[in-house]
Amino acid sequence: MLAAFALAGCHQPAAAEVDSKTGPAPIAIAVAAAHQQSLDRTAEMQGALFPREHAVMSSEVEGRVTEVVADFGDKVAAGQVMLKINPREYQLRVETAQAALDQARAKLANSTARYNRAQTLKQAAAISSEQFDQFASQMRVDQADTESADEALAMARKKLGDTEIKAPFSGSVQKRMVSLGEYVAPGKEIYELIATDPIKLRCPMPERLVPLARVGMPVKLAIDADQGTSYTGKITRIAPALDESSRTLLIEAEVANPDGALKPGFFAHVTMDLGHDRALFVPTAAVLRYAGVARVFIVDQGVVRAREVTTGSVVGDQTEITGGLKEGDHVAVSDVDRLADGTAVIAKEQS
């Protein structure tokens, strides 16, 4: 019996040695080649709405508010009077400046007439050159005084005009910051005005889609407040550089908004048709996702090698691969949850 146990003990390591050399049996898997196929490229992004124009209007003159024409929520047209400041002081300034200009013009007319007579007398040698120069100098002084008086009148008229606060563009009053009877100083904020037709849409585009974006390209959007309605617009501007932290490119589109249903501040769900393209695809079954990382298993001489990939669009049962694979690479499409880097396999092309 002791001899039998000893013989059995001698044979045990040999069996283990055979098992370690043989290893697990290969796993039979189906494989498919990464391939190019056509793709109608679309992108889905999140964006936000902004006013087309936004202005905080301030007073350029001081005085008491005598009339409030436009209030919060009102629509105004470009050039429309929105508020009036007491103009009496500025009317008096205009009258004073006009009187000063009339006086300067009268002096200039007299000095011009004297200069013309002096020219005739000089030609007849009836006056000296020094006397003639005095007439010419006085006329030039009166000309300068007249020009200065004219500019003073123009400034007075401008100040009078500034007592009426007018809309710089057609839009809606977002906020009114003064009240009737209030005394305002130059620089005092009076209105916040916005224009929302068309309204601006801004959204970040992923780096991989940037080469496909073009000015004039159509966009579609929906808002949470009215998910049953779709709106369309066109890209009007594309940022010149990517945001370094998010690796996205800001694009801007204009969307018609005649009834004001789209409000600045709304979030928008954006769908963009980026045109026809060709891209690299593998069957979706080949892509294994774990902890936010996508992997595939490439078959290489009877074993599989794990490879991290970057994925894009999903079309039917195919997933776009934007990084990590090249055309012709064979990937496992079955039993991927049983595979690990270095697993021996028997590969069969998927039919």
pLDDT in tens for each of the 351 residues of the chain?
344 444 444 444 444 444 445 567 899 999 999 999 988 777 888 999 999 999 999 999 999 999 999 999 999 999 999 999 999 999 999 999 999 999 999 999 999 999 999 988 988 888 888 898 999 999 999 999 999 999 999 999 999 999 999 999 999 999 999 999 999 999 999 999 999 999 999 999 988 788 888 899 999 999 988 878 899 999 999 999 998 888 899 999 999 999 889 999 999 999 988 777 788 999 999 999 988 899 999 998 889 999 999 998 888 899 999 899 999 999 999 989 989 998 999 888 876
- Vertex 33, ends 30 and 38: CA angle to 5°? 130
Place of tokens 């044979």: 11
Q: Which of 199, 214, 342, 188 is nearest to 260 (CA)?
A: 199
- The Cα 173–Cα 325 span in angstroms is 55
Cα–Cα dist 138/323, whole Å: 84
- pLDDT the model gives residue 23: 64
CB crowding 302-330: b at 16 or more within 10 Å, else e: ebbeebebebbbeeeebbbbeebbeeebb
Closest CA to 179 of 193, 167, 171, 191: 191
CA distances from 189 to 83, 87, 174 (A): 12, 19, 13
> Considering just the CA atoms, what is the radius of gyration of the chain in Å?
42
Structure tokens at 12: 């045990």
Question: How far, in Å, CA of 213 to CA of 235, rounded?
Answer: 9
What pLDDT is stored for residue 15 in this prediction?
40
Residue 35 identity (one-letter amino acid) = H
Residue 296 in contact with residue 332, Cβ under 8 Å?
A: yes
**Contact, 104 vs 146, CB < 8 A?**
yes
Q: What is the pLDDT of residue 66?
A: 96
How far is the C-alpha of 255 from the C-alpha of 199, rounded, in Å? 5
CB contact burial 273-298 (16+ within 10 A = b; e otherwise): ebeeeebbbbbebbbbeeeeebbbbb
State phi, psi for 114 to the nearest 5 degrees: -65, -35
**CA angle 32-274-197, nearest 5°?**
155
| pTM listed for this prediction | 0.66
pLDDT of residue 48: 95
Strand partners, 303: 300, 344
User: What is the phi/psi pair of residue 179, to 5°?
Assistant: -120, 160
- CA dihedral over 186, 189, 190, 195, signed as positive or negative: positive
CA-to-CA distance for 52 and 197, rounded, in angstroms? 7
Nearest residue to 235 (alpha-carbon basis) of 208, 255, 217, 213: 217
